[in-house]
Amino acid sequence: MLLGTNGSGKSTLLKLMAGLLQPQSGYIKPLPKLGFVFQNPDHQLVMPTVGADVAFGLVEEALSPIQVRYRVEEALDAVNLLPLIRRPIYALSGGQKQRVAIAGALARHCEVLILDEPTALLDPDSQLELVAQVQHLIKSRGLTALWVTHRLGELDYCDGAFLLEHGKVIDQGDPQRLRLRLMSSG
């Protein structure tokens, strides 16, 4: 997980890593197949239905219709949304929209999943459910994930953490040690 106060550069760093922003100086090596999940899923869900939105990211892969259907169904099943494949996007809850965005990344067989405060707009129950589900997905699929958060409770679900301040990593390592550092400074 990547931690830091508002304005510390967390979202900017993720956008640089994903190639959504270009660095003003230096060079960033492009990551392998990358899935980016925005804080607000309404900023990335573009198609009218759940299934169509997940399939949208596969356009560049030149897959057959059968392959697209398989990948869409597999990804939606992984986030427990397969029964909603024909549901209009507007009829989804915030947590369901986040899971559709994650399914879009999974359908593309991304190797790295970057999540920019995906629980920020969710109620407390949905927050924990999403965190636990993503943790299960990355472990079961062997993915790498970088999760931006300011919620210290989410540190219980990660293997390591980085603390960012003014665009620089000022500490990294054990999530519980970083939690204590943040709690004692706040």
The ranges assigned to domains in the chain are 2-185
How far apart CA 68 and CA 74 sit, in angstroms, is 10
Quote the pLDDT of residue 68: 96
Quote the pLDDT of residue 179: 86
How far apart CA 154 and CA 127 sit, in angstroms, is 9
pLDDT means per 10 residues in the chain (186 residues)?
87 86 86 84 92 93 94 94 96 91 92 88 81 86 87 85 90 89 76
Tell the CATH superfamily of the 2-185 domain: P-loop containing nucleotide triphosphate hydrolases (3.40.50.300)
How far apart CA 43 and CA 84 sit, in angstroms, is 20
- pTM for the whole structure: 0.85
Quote the pLDDT of residue 67: 96
